Structure 1
Amino acid sequence: MTRSDFMNRLRAGLSGLPAATINDLAADYEAHFEDGLAAGRSEAEVSAALGDPDRLARELRAEAGMRRWETEKNPSAAAAAVFAVLGLGAIDILILLPILMGVLGALFGVLVAVIATFVAGGFVFAVGPFVAPPGGPFAALLAGLGLMAGATAVGALLTIVTIWLVNGIVWFARLHYRLLKPAIEPQAQGRA
Structure 2
Amino acid sequence: MVKNEFLDKLEYLLSRVPEQDRKEMLYDYQEHFEIGFANGRSQAELIAELGDPHVIARDLLADYRIGRAEKDKTPTNMGRAIVATISLSFFNLVFILGPVAGLFGAYVALCAVSFGLTILPLAILGSYFFDYSYESFLVNFFVSLTSFSLGVLMSIGMIYVGKFFYNVVLRYIKFNVKVIKGDKAA
TM-score by length of 1: 0.48
TM-score by length of 2: 0.49
